[in-house]
């Protein structure tokens, strides 16, 4: 099928994309590695030469490091849990035949199209603001003291915002998986005496296994680098400083590019550890 001629033509055709991707990935990666070994303070003398592993040592010794790792993982796990549980329930609902199905589905998908910065602003000002927010009004309406969500329940609030953004993605993937479930299997289970809960547990959930795996893997990749939502809402205060945010603070707020780059390398390592664990746990679902 593939002649030598067509193979070399294929290589030629792919070359621009490969070169572009390589440049896009390799240049920043190499620069990050380069800076992580240098003392580089842009406003305080610029590039001050080699320092070996000093940046790595001081980044990990910083009192902010381990809490930031913990916050990052809490955020990822929290959002995954909410989007998966609610996503499965929503997908089950949307799979039912109902009037106005098309419109409802579009509405459910809508949050995914809102930019992270915008949705964080919307949540911060319209929903969670203690004076003017909808939740504040709701609390006052039933005679309660409004809660300043983003300072008193900062982590939960951010998990909620990010979950709201990612729920459509999870729902959509799970819904398409649900629609591919053979209806005769459900009927067979019904005849076999399985009630609705048993049918869900024994038939639907195993069928969704692969879709759930896809959701977990893709969401984890994006959730590890959540930034805009934190920047817009808490600015990293109130225990919401993730590793990504800590790196941003080191580079731009402390103007220490070397230290931030070392943090970036740690972030790469963390992402890979998470990826290895995930592939071990859920990756086997993708086989066969």
Partner 1 sequence: MGQILLEKVVKRFGDVEVIPPLDLTIEDGEFVVFVGPSGCGKSTLLRLIAGLEDVTSGRIVIDGKDATNIPPAKRSLAMVFQSYALYPHMSVRKNIAFPLRMAGFDKAEIDRRVAAAADVLNLTPYLDRRPGQLSGGQRQRVAIGRAIVREPAAFLFDEPLSNLDAALRVGMRLEISELHNRLKTTMIYVTHDQVEAMTMADKIVVLHAGRIEQVGSPLELYSRPRNLFVAGFIGSPNMNFITGPEADKLNAATIGVRPEHIQVSTTEGRWKGTVGVAEHLGSDTFLHVHATGLAETITVRASGEVGLRHGDTVWLTPEDDKIHRFDSNGLRIE
Q: Which residues bind partner 1 (CB under 8 A)?
A: 182, 184-185, 187-194, 198, 202-203, 206-207, 209, 288
For partner 1, the closer of residues 122 and 181 by Cβ is 181
Task: Provide, rounded to whole angstroms, the least separation between the CB of residue 161 and partner 1.
Answer: 35
Task: Provide, rounded to whole angstroms, the least separation between the CB of residue 130 and partner 1.
Answer: 49
Q: What 3-state class would DSSP assign to 279?
A: helix
Task: Provide, rounded to whole angstroms, the least separation between the CB of residue 97 and partner 1.
Answer: 14
For partner 1, the closer of residues 143 and 193 by Cβ is 193
For partner 1, the closer of residues 189 and 274 by Cβ is 189
For partner 1, the closer of residues 64 and 186 by Cβ is 186
Q: What is the CA radius of gyration of the chain?
A: 24
Task: Provide, rounded to whole angstroms, the least separation between the CB of residue 190 and partner 1.
Answer: 5
Task: Provide, rounded to whole angstroms, the least separation between the CB of residue 201 and partner 1.
Answer: 11
Contact between residue 86 and residue 166 where contact means Cβ atoms under 8 Å apart: no
- Orientation of helix 65-95 relative to helix 205-223, angle to 10°: 140
Degrees, nearest 5: CA angle 127-105-96: 120
For partner 1, the closer of residues 43 and 288 by Cβ is 288
Tell me the torsion sign for CA atoms 249, 253, 254, 259.
positive
For partner 1, the closer of residues 39 and 199 by Cβ is 199
40 vs 52: CA distance, rounded Å:
12
- Orientation of helix 257-282 relative to helix 54-61, angle to 10°: 70
DSSP state of 195: -
Task: Provide, rounded to whole angstroms, the least separation between the CB of residue 96 and partner 1.
Answer: 17
CB atoms within 10 A of CB 19: 10
DSSP state of 56: H
The two structure tokens encoding residue 5? 């001629």
């Amino acid at each position: 099928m593939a002649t030598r001629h067509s193979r070399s033509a294929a290589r030629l055709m792919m070359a621009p994309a490969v070169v572009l991707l390589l440049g896009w990935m390799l240049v920043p990666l190499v620069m990050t590695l380069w800076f992580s070994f240098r003392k580089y303070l842009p406003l305080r003398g610029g590039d001050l030469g080699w320092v070996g592993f000093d940046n790595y040592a001081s980044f990990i010794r910083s009192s902010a490091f381990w809490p930031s790792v913990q916050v990052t993982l809490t955020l990822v796990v929290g959002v995954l849990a909410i989007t998966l549980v609610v996503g499965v329930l929503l997908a089950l609902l949307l799979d039912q035949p109902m009037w106005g199905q098309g419109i409802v589905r579009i509405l459910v998908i809508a949050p995914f199209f809102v930019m992270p910065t915008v949705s964080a602003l919307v949540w911060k000002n319209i929903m969670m603001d203690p004076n003017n927010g909808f939740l504040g009004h709701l609390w006052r309406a039933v005679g309660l003291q409004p809660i300043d969500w983003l300072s008193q329940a900062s982590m939960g609030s951010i998990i909620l915002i990010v979950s709201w953004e990612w729920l459509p993605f999870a729902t959509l993937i799970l819904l398409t998986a649900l629609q591919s479930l053979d209806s005769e299997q459900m009927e067979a289970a019904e005849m076999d005496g399985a009630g609705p809960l048993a049918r869900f547990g024994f038939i639907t959930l195993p069928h969704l296994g692969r879709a759930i795996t896809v959701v977990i893997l893709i969401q984890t990749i994006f959730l590890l680098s959540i930034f805009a939502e934190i920047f817009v809402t808490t600015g990293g205060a109130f225990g919401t400083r993730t590793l990504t945010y800590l790196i941003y603070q080191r580079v731009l707020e402390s103007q220490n590019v070397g230290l931030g780059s070392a943090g970036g390398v740690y972030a790469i390592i963390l992402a890979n550890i998470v990826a290895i664990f995930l592939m071990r746990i859920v990756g086997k679902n993708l086989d066969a």
